[in-house]
Structure 1
Amino acid sequence: MALPPLATAADLRDAGATGTDAALDLALRRASARVRRYTRQDITFVENDTITLPGGGKVLWLPQYPLVVDGAHPLTVVEIADFSGVEWDAIENRDYSRIGNELTRGYPWQAPTRLMGWPWNRAQGVWAPKIRVTYSHGYAEVPEDIVDVVLDLATMNLANPENLRQISIDDYQRTFASETIGSAALTRDHKDALRPFRRPVFSVVTP
């Protein structure tokens, strides 16, 4: 699924950038891709995303922030056993508790017996080996700090589309910033602004 740019062409023009519609769109898509790659986040709102995560611990971290759970966007969590493929629906406030994007596995809601089959014989208070989660995540409105970085990157791309180091015309000479050569790259200031939105590396298996 292609995600939309994190800012609009109108925003980019308001920031002082000039160019054709196609050039503005390309600059925004390239800048948005760099921001998403650095933060490891989709950022824009995504509904009913299904992923499979490795379990085996007490806490399960959902990789995309922020988690959105309401009547229109339920959170579905299914534990999957090794080898047998037996599945078990985990219910919030019965099998696990949720704080932010952290799902903490609780103890069985009733005493397990051999008649229950799996997960009778697995460690208590620990997630199954694999977890399939369907959830909605992201921002309905992109945070301003992210928009600012995207616009800055896109403007840098537009300022030096041919990746030149220096231009000389008669007595006029212009030297481009190194960040704009080879397409605009995130600066240290950009990374500082994006750090609150960045997540650690997770292992995710797409279904």
Structure 2
Amino acid sequence: MPLPPLATAADLEAAGATGTAEAMDLALRRASARVRRYTRQDITFTASETVELSGGERILWLPQYPLVVDDAHPLTVVEVADFSGVEWNAVEGRDYSRLGNELTRGYPWQAPTRLMGWPWSRAQGVWAPKVRVTYSHGYDEVPDDIVDIVVDLATMNLANPGNLREAAIDDYRQVFAAETIGGARLSKSHKDDLRSYRRAAFSVVLQ
């Protein structure tokens, strides 16, 4: 399912932008896509998404921020053994601790023996090579600073829908900003404002 735009037509109109409903929708979708591509984040709230992540380390980083865990949105973590398909349900507070989006694997709460089968043979205190996580993430309301950036980009798209360098009518000549040619781009100041939302590139999603 496509993700919703990170701002609304009402936000655009409040900022003074004008255009048809179709043009506003396109401008918002293009601006939202650029913000999401830069941050590597969905940003809007998503419930119970299932992903498979590479483990093998003591800390497992969940790729989408912020993590939402409550009675209605449980966090489920399953370690999967290579080839055999054997699964191990990891329990928070027993098998791992959680800090933000970091899940730190603890040492086994029971003494492993050969009679237990997997995961007795795995290195203690690290995640299995593959971990399946079902979790909820994102914001119920998009933060205002992200809305401002999306509105800014969308307004530039609306101002120059034809990707023109300049336009002239009789004696009037208008030169468009370089950022609006080929679709509005994030400026350095935009990127600086989005940096705190940006996910590190080392998070690996297997599916």
Partner of 1:161: 161
Superposed, 1:8-47 pairs within 5 Å as: 8-47=8-47
1:104 match: secondary structure: strand
Moved over 6 A (4+): none
Distance 1:181 1:69 in 2: 42
| Corresponding residue of 1:135 | 135
Aligned to 1:204: 205
Structure 2's unaligned 5+ residue stretches are none
Aligned equivalents of 2:106, 2:75: Cα separation in 1: 17
The offset of 1:169, in angstroms, is 1.2
- Whole-angstrom CA distance in 1 between matches of 2:115 and 2:42: 43
Provide TM-score, normalisation by structure 2. Answer: 0.99
State the alpha-carbon separation in 2 of the partners of residues 200 and 135 from structure 1: 19
Deviations 1:123-152 (A, max 9, x none): 000000000000000001100110000000
Deviation of 1:36 (Å) = 0.2
| Distance across 1 between alignment mates of 2:143 and 2:204 | 26
SS at match of 1:193: helix
Code of the aligned partner of 1:114 = R
Deviation of the 1:205 alpha carbon:
1.6
Distance 2:182 2:2 in 1: 24
Q: Deviations over 1:75-128 (max 9, x none)?
A: 000001111111100000000000000000000011011111000011000000
Q: Aligned residue for 1:191? A: 191
**Structure 1 unaligned blocks of 5 or more:** none
Match of 2:147? 147
Corresponding residue number in structure 2 for 1:114:
114
Identity of aligned residues (%): 76
AA aligned opposite 1:205: L
Residue aligning to 2:171:
171
Q: Distance in 2 between matches of 1:37 and 1:131?
A: 25
Pairwise CA RMSD? 0.5
**How many residues were matched structurally?**
206
The two structures have a TM-score, normalised by structure 1, of 0.99
Task: Tell me how far apart the structure 1 counterparts of residues 14 and 145 of structure 2 sit (CA, whole Å).
Answer: 16
> How far apart, in 2, do the equivalents of 1:205 and 1:136 lie?
18
Alpha-carbon distance in 1 for matches of 2:162, 2:177? 13
Tell me, what secondary structure is at the counterpart of 2:135? strand
Paired AA for residue 68 in structure 1:
V
